[in-house]
Amino acid sequence: MAAHGELPDVVLIDLLMRGLDGVAATASIVQRHPTIRVVVLTSFGERERVHAALASGATGFLLKDARPSEIVAAIRAVAGGGVFLDPAVARRLTQEILSLATGLASLTDRERTVLVLVAKGRSNQEIADELLISERTVRTHVSGMLRKLGLSSRTQAAVVAVREGMLPADP
């Protein structure tokens, strides 16, 4: 990565590259060289990759159709210690956060309880036994909870529960 023995201040990286995962590359760069800032090129179709890149340490996001002036602005912002989000990416992330908050608020008390038990790794049968309800009722609660949160898997639901601090701290 070093040219003439010096490391760059900023790396501009595409998330989708032939033979290389941009999220993994971002994580590797940030881990090996914590002073290097990473600006990611993305498209809206890569929502989960955007989240993963954020978690990996990227500090800037541009859409792939960014104008040269936007690229310069992103590089300057992150080089100066800031964060740069393309306005459309920022809007999209904000909408996701708001819809998640709205979704959590729409859960019934029972769905919240089921969500916590799912996050603890309990099976539908284990949840049914603990709550003294049928497994079919548990499936109904899980389906409703996933629908309201706009999620497609129990794993995604568990991540939401952990991220939102819904699991009690272990003593």
131 and 138 in contact (C-beta within 8 Å)?
yes
Give the count of domains, the chain.
2
CATH of the domain at 134: 1.10.10.10
Is-above-0.75 flag for pTM?
no
Q: In this structure, are 43 and 117 located in the same domain?
A: no
Q: In this structure, are 54 and 126 located in the same domain?
A: no
Listing DSSP states for the chain in one string gives --BTTB--SEEEEESEETTEEHHHHHHHHHHH-TT-EEEEEE-GGGHHHHHHHHHHT--EEEETT--HHHHHHHHHHHHTT--EE-HHHHHHHHHHHHHHHHHHHHS-HHHHHHHHHHHTT--HHHHHHHHTS-HHHHHHHHHHHHHHHT--SHHHHHHHHHHTT-SPPP-
Residue 85: inside a domain: yes
pLDDT at 68 (0 to 100): 94
146 pLDDT band, cuts 50/70/90, is very high
Last residue in a domain, options 62, 94, 126? 94
Residue 168: inside a domain: no
pLDDT at 16 (0 to 100): 81
What rounded mean pLDDT belongs to the chain?
A: 87
- Condensed to tens digits (0 to 9), the pLDDT of residues 7-55 reads 999 999 988 888 888 889 999 999 999 999 999 988 765 667 777 888 8
pLDDT at 101 (0 to 100): 66
Q: In this structure, are 89 and 143 located in the same domain?
A: no
The range of the structural domain enclosing residue 21 comes to 10-94
5 pLDDT band, cuts 50/70/90, is confident
